[in-house]
Structure 1
Amino acid sequence: MVNDVVSDMLTRIRNAGKVKHHLVQVPLTKMTLAISVVLKEENFIEDFQEFSEDNKNFLLLLLKYKGKGRNQKPAITMLKRISKPGLRVYAGVKDLPVVLGNFGIAVVSTSQGVMTNIKAAKLGIGGEILCYVW
């Protein structure tokens, strides 16, 4: 069992994108589900679906690609883990990061759920910076 489910999820997505897989299987937790919802809302993944196999629950993510044929490029160029179990990174509303001039997003875990840095700034709340996606 993996202790850091967020890093595990990001690594699986990163590895699948490099070899141009369209499906990624991720263990289902509340956090991986919340991050998947944010990635879908921001059009970084096509869709996701929950399923269970041998009494274990998983998420199946359908990755999004740009282009056709051999020239396909993943919609997710980079995934970078920020807050780790050994070193948590928090930011107040005034300190929320701007990722690539708002071309990318920061996934933030707030008291009102997991959301992007842009949405958290609009709501006027800060939280734990989980990762950057662009």
Structure 2
Amino acid sequence: MNTDPIADYLTRLRNAIKASHRVVEIPSSNIKKEITKVLYEKGYIQSYKFDDSGVQGTIKVALKYNPSTKQSAIVKLERISKPGLRKYAGHDNLPRVLNGLGISILSTSKGVMTEKEARNQNIGGEVLCYVY
């Protein structure tokens, strides 16, 4: 049994990028679906598909690469809040990644969103990960 499903999700994406895979298949959960939607909206992945057939279901993520340099749109995925040590940020001190070039994904009372959206809505939450 996996104790940190979000870290597993990020690791599967990281490994697929290092192996230059086009598509990666990940076991599904609601929080993973929301993180996938945020990554798609911000342009870090090409597309995604939720397959709910079966017990748990899967998420198929098509990774995005630069056609000329073959470099991934995602340079680094970093897990911040872990099961052993949760990291929370209030609306007044939300983290900025690479001075605004990257995103941090938060789990808030209004759902999963980026720190920019949370700053606009004036809410804080748990800092799940950094993506750049």
Please indicate the TM-score interval, normalised by the length of the shorter structure. Answer: over 0.9
TM-score, L = length of structure 2:
0.96
Corresponding position of 1:44: 44
Summarize deviations over 1:28-58 as a string: whole Å, max 9, x none. 1000000000000000001110114653400
Q: Note the residue ranges of structure 1 that are not aligned, 5 or more in a row.
A: none
Corresponding position of 2:9: 9
Q: Which has the higher helix share?
A: 1
SS in 1 for 2:57: strand
CA distance in 1, matches of 2:32, 2:114: 14
CA contact (8 A) 2:51 2:59 kept: yes
TM-score, L = length of structure 1:
0.94
Q: Which has the higher strand share?
A: 1
Task: Write the mapping of 1:41-120 to structure 2, written as runs, cut at 5 A.
Answer: 41-52=41-52, 54-68=54-68, 71-120=69-118
Amino acid corresponding to residue 6 of structure 1 in structure 2: I
Q: How far is 1:92 from its partner?
A: 0.1
Question: Could you list the runs of 4 or more consecutive aligned residues of structure 1 that deviate by over 6 angstroms after TM superposition?
Answer: none
Q: How far is 1:67 from its partner?
A: 2.7
Amino acid corresponding to residue 103 of structure 1 in structure 2: L
> 101-110 vs 44-53, which deviates more?
44-53
Q: Note the residue ranges of structure 2 that are not aligned, 5 or more in a row.
A: none
Amino acid corresponding to residue 59 of structure 1 in structure 2: I
SS in 2 for 1:14: helix
Aligned length: 132
CA-atom RMSD in angstroms: 1.1
Identity over aligned residues, as a percent? 43
